[in-house]
Chains A and B, each alone.
Chain A
Amino acid sequence: MYAALWRRIPGGLPGKLAGMIALLATALALLFFVVFPVVEPHLPWNDVTVNTPPIGSEPSAHPSPSVLPSP
């Protein structure tokens, strides 16, 4: 897989290196700024409130003061 990628990138050794680094940077940016933020809310370890609603649903931010605060 990576060997095939290496073979396809043109530009000799410097070009191949630069190409690989650029691809790696793109992949990392995609992961950190797009994929991970999307995946994160579906994982349980960030639930810190009591009465947490089902994972994935946005808690109501402004319960009326007369009701029990429901996160």
Chain B
Amino acid sequence: MSHAAGTAYPDTLRVRRRKPDARSVIGVAGEVLITLGVIVFLFLAYELWFTGLYTSRAQSNFKKELQQEWAAPPTAPAVLPGESPGPSTGPSTAAVPDVAVPGDAIGLIRIPKLGSNYEYAIVEGVSTNDLKKGPGHYPGSAMPGQVGNFVMSGHRTTYLAPFNGLGELADGDAIVIETRDTWYTYKVTDVQVVLPTDVDVILPVPGKPKAKPTKKLITLTTCTPKYSASHRLIIDGVLESALPKSAGLPPALKGT
């Protein structure tokens, strides 16, 4: 249409181009602003949903890997194609190796309160890249079932938001960690909100830097309030039971 108009009235067009009036300037500025607004909404969509696609792919890979590893006989640690055999952890009488490979899945976390489908593979590491793949285990903190503090972090609102529902947990709720041979059931003992700098909460004995750990604890950290990073939500728990997987589902998962 404008093309036809252009050929019909060339003078008008030429005049317009030579002297952009205030209205056309405002028009372009308006279009730019609307475009920027749309981009902000697109970014929101990216953060809330698009990032989850990456995480769900990483999670399904992890779950596949874990299944393969756990299906392999315990005396011969599974070596996945493309992976060089690492240092042997010895005859695996221990339920979990003492040191996990950074970036690898170390087990699965289930929280029955958050639904029977709530199941995430736990990544070893809490770097930005690790946490994109799922909730991560702080390297150097205790492994599941060990004396000390098994500390995990996870995203609250982005990257599939594994720890979105942590705010619903209350004392007594179960957190179940599945490793190769064992179901570790932790019971929530405390829910607190702290500042991001309060590193005391992830110590082997939370709040006591020098104390020697005697209990088997779990700590989950995520950001709070949702969509903010001003504070951290901390879920503390203590090990209630460690049951061999050969004995079937742990009581905490049976009801779901």
Q: Which residues of A contact B (CB under 8 A)?
A: 1-3, 6-7, 28, 31-32, 36, 39-41, 44-52, 58-59, 61-71
Contacts and interface: CB of A to CB of B under 8 A. Distances in A.
Q: Give the interface SS of chain A, mostly helix, strand, loop or mixed.
A: loop
Given A1-B32, A69-B141, A49 B221 contact: yes
A32 B3 contact: no
A7 B201 CA distance: 62
A18 B244 CA distance: 61
A45 B227 contact: yes
A56 B156 CA distance: 19
Interface string B181-224: 00000000000001011110111000001000000000001110
B237 interface: no
A36 B140 contact: no
Interface residues of B, number: 51
A36 B28 CA distance: 25
Nearest to A43: B47
Most buried by A among B27, B47, B197: B47
Contacts of A36: 42-43, 46-47, 50
Interface of B: 2-3, 27-28, 31-32, 39, 42-43, 46-47, 50-51, 99, 102, 125-128, 130-131, 138-141, 151, 153-159, 163, 194, 196-199, 201-203, 209, 221-223, 227-229, 232, 234
B28 to A, nearest CB: 5
A50 B102 contact: no
B208 to A, nearest CB: 12
B232 A48 contact: yes
Contacts of B221: 48-50
Contacts of A32: 42, 46, 50
A6 B15 CA distance: 20
Given A64-B140, A67-B140, A69-B139, A46 B153 contact: no
A69 B43 contact: no
Contact of B139 (A41, A48, A50, A62): A62
Contacts of B140: 63-69
Given A1-B28, A7-B3, A45-B227, A68 B46 contact: no
Contacts of B126: 49, 59, 69, 71
Contacts of B157: 45
A71 B50 CA distance: 25
Contacts of B125: 61-62
29 contacts: A1-B32, A2-B31, A6-B2, A7-B2, A31-B42, A36-B42, A36-B50, A44-B229, A45-B223, A45-B229, A47-B196, A47-B223, A47-B229, A48-B232, A49-B126, A49-B153, A49-B196, A50-B194, A50-B197, A50-B221, A51-B197, A52-B229, A59-B126, A61-B102, A61-B127, A61-B139, A65-B140, A69-B126, A69-B141
